[in-house]
Amino acid sequence: MTKDRWQEIKAQLKKNFEIFDEYQEDLDPGEAEVVEFAGPQGKMMAKFVTRPKVLDKKTTYSNRAGSGVRVDYVYSEEDFVSYLEAFVFSDERNEWRKLEIENLF
């Protein structure tokens, strides 16, 4: 997903649906641009996430019983990964449920 394609999707959302809220969200690491709107399934949210690319994953552990496991990630300073996430609000559970975008098409 590119930034230009996200801008097109955001323009379509603003044109076709009522927008409740639009904001930036800081992630660790990365950031997300969020749009909440009244969609065909009720209250929905589209999130454009940009994170640094993971270069390596290091796991530190001990073979002793009861010891913890720590995972350290090594991120790229130049390469970034962007993707789109979609959520629908569940009134029954009062929480956001993630939609599987692959199943929509």
35 is in which domain, residue-wise? 3-104
Q: How many domains does the structure of the chain reveal?
A: 1
Mean pLDDT of 15-37: 93
pLDDT reported for residue 66:
76
Q: Report the 3 state secondary structure along 54-67.
A: EEEEEEECCCCCCC
Average pLDDT of every residue of the chain: 90
Identify whether the C-beta of residue 45 lies closer than 8 Å to the C-beta of residue 10.
Answer: no
Residue 64 has a pLDDT of: 82
